[in-house]
Amino acid sequence: MRARGANVTDIIVLVVAAEDGAMQQTKESADLAHESGTPIIVAINKIDKPDADIKKCEESLISIGIQPESMGGDVQVVPISALKGTNISLLVESLVTQAELLELKETVKGKSEGTVIESEVRPEGKVATCIIRRGTLKRGCVIVADTAWGKVRNMFNSQGSPVTKALPGTPVQVTGWRNRIPPAGAEFLEVDSEKRAKEVVSFREDKYQKIKDEKALKEIEQKREEHLQHYQEYREKKLELGFRRKMRRTTPLEKQFKEDTHPRLCIVLKGDVDGSVDAILNILDSYQSEECSLELLNFGVGSITPNDIDLAKSFNGIIYTFNLPNITADVKYLLNENKVPVHQHNIIYRLIEDLQDEISKRLPPLPVEEIIGEAVVNEEFLVSEGKSKVPVAGCRCLSGFLKKSELFRVIRSTDTIFDGELESLKHVKKEVETIKKDVDCGLMLKEKSIRFHPGDKILCYHLKMVNRRTDWNPTGF
């Protein structure tokens, strides 16, 4: 959203808190401004706060590539208080001065052009917020944006009041889109007629479909090569193991040798407006973990559709919605009938936390050792077992308790010489299940070749499975 704003505006007002200075979000906005070549005016806000430090704030701007005029640079910096209205008129004057220097002029004649900033589906229909770049947009004009087209039915200004025309630099909400809502960031153009609009859309759809088909063909070929390579590697391994019989031929319809058990979370994402969905998609792009795959099955603007439900059901997925109205009774019935879960959110960081929780649930638990007892070897005994002699450790439990059914580790100096199960645990001559602290015992390992030395440390431990937490932490969350 910031990137779109930087590309369509003439002057960027970068607001920085006087008590915080330049933050990570400030740097991101400044970088976008530099990339787009858009001039910046910095407004240092909250100067009414007791801990406001304008000088320190200006110094922090240098670290993100902004040189204030007060420090020999060319960027205007205006200290303001939006709460109390301090220096707002000065900020307006700075904007006017910058606009005059840039000679910001555009013709109001000819067909209109502009950019779609935001789009959404409302009860009254498809609505797109647009900024006019050239010409004059009027009611009744036919416009095309990407593969969406429409005839302007109504326009509303930034105060929500209806208008009949919009001049360059004016943001308006436009209704009257026919086939679909235009994507945020798309350029719109005015055309002569509805027939011409349909021709343009048809041409673009054919072009996109060809690109999509070419991409799909490449993916199919790539998967075919991977499948062939996998099969050849599998066959070679079988031959190495001594399999000489003729293997039956595999086909693409068969599963690739075994079920894919890799953890994965499949989701469908639906949002209220294109900008919200775009922002969430940008966050999802930061997911790089290989422990659990995050599969985006589908995304879009508007209510949950039967196709969304079918898709989520097929892949055992979850439907996530952001800022959407309550689900209708018909959709609820379909969701319940198909047993498809829906997670509804209105706050973006709650949605991300939800995703983190779901990913974490799918991670295999981590085995963690829990030491439950410690003993020391006092001496070794050799006892008869059939025709051989078997070493037995005469020990004393120093802490906790020893439990026969748990795992044991024998440590000599700093080296582990055994890690595994017991064959026998005795107190005096009686087989027991546990040995308490300060009690002597004799223990025999299942690995009977291990010899004991006085002073060997014996640890009794339990492996407990601990639920894991994903290491995915998107910036800003």
User: Quick check: 235 pLDDT over 50?
Assistant: no
CATH code, domain carrying 311: 3.40.50.10050
In this structure, the answer to whether residues 461 and 373 fall within a common structural domain is yes
pLDDT digits (tens, 9 = 90+) for 138-160: 999 999 999 999 999 999 998 98
In a domain, 332, yes or no: yes
Confirm whether pTM is higher than 0.85.
no
Higher-pLDDT residue of 253 and 153 is: 153
In this structure, the answer to whether residues 136 and 59 fall within a common structural domain is no
In this structure, the answer to whether residues 282 and 309 fall within a common structural domain is yes
In this structure, the answer to whether residues 268 and 338 fall within a common structural domain is yes
Cα separations in angstroms, 361 against 8, 262, 286, 358, 454: 42, 13, 20, 5, 46
Q: What is the mean pLDDT of residues 421-434?
A: 94
In this structure, the answer to whether residues 93 and 14 fall within a common structural domain is yes
Computed over every residue of the chain, the mean pLDDT equals: 86
In a domain, 202, yes or no: no
Contact between residue 66 and residue 40 where contact means Cβ atoms under 8 Å apart: yes
Residue 307's CB: how many other CB atoms inside 10 A? 11
In this structure, the answer to whether residues 118 and 140 fall within a common structural domain is yes
In a domain, 201, yes or no: no
In this structure, the answer to whether residues 275 and 243 fall within a common structural domain is no
In this structure, the answer to whether residues 40 and 131 fall within a common structural domain is no
SS3 state of residue 54? helix
Q: What is the mean pLDDT of residues 319-326?
A: 91
pLDDT digits (tens, 9 = 90+) for 45-69: 999 988 888 899 988 989 888 888 8
In a domain, 27, yes or no: yes
Q: How many domains does the chain have?
A: 5
Q: Rounded distance, CA 370 to CA 366, Å?
A: 13
Sign of the CA dihedral 53, 58, 59, 60? Answer: positive
In this structure, the answer to whether residues 37 and 125 fall within a common structural domain is no
**Residue 171: band (very low, low, confident or very high) from pLDDT cuts 50, 70, 90:** very high
The domain of 184 spans: 113-191
Strand partners, 121: 126
In a domain, 200, yes or no: no
User: Quick check: 229 pLDDT over 80?
Assistant: no
User: Quick check: 442 pLDDT over 90?
Assistant: yes
CATH code, domain carrying 40: 3.40.50.300
In this structure, the answer to whether residues 417 and 451 fall within a common structural domain is yes
Higher-pLDDT residue of 226 and 31 is: 31
In this structure, the answer to whether residues 376 and 357 fall within a common structural domain is no
In a domain, 342, yes or no: yes
pLDDT of residue 72: 86
**CA torsion, ordered 169, 174, 179, 185, to nearest 10 deg:** 30
User: Quick check: 253 pLDDT over 80?
Assistant: no
**Which residue, of 333, 362, 391, is where some domain finishes?**
362
In a domain, 198, yes or no: no
**Which residue, of 58, 73, 102, is where some domain finishes?**
102
User: Quick check: 231 pLDDT over 70?
Assistant: no
**Which residue, of 56, 78, 102, is where some domain finishes?**
102
SS3 state of residue 355? helix
The single-letter DSSP state of residue 290 is: S
Contact between residue 395 and residue 376 where contact means Cβ atoms under 8 Å apart: yes
CATH code, domain carrying 402: 2.40.30.10
In this structure, the answer to whether residues 52 and 15 fall within a common structural domain is yes
Q: Which residue type sits at 286?
A: S
pLDDT of residue 262: 82
Q: Which residues contact 119 (CB under 8 A, 6 or more apart)?
A: 126, 127, 128, 129, 181, 182, 183, 184, 273, 274, 301
In a domain, 474, yes or no: no
pLDDT of residue 250: 35
pLDDT digits (tens, 9 = 90+) for 378-399: 999 999 888 889 999 999 999 9
Q: Which residues contact 427 (CB under 8 A, 6 or more apart)?
A: 435, 439, 440, 441, 442
pLDDT digits (tens, 9 = 90+) for 83-122: 999 999 999 999 888 888 888 778 888 899 999 988 888 8
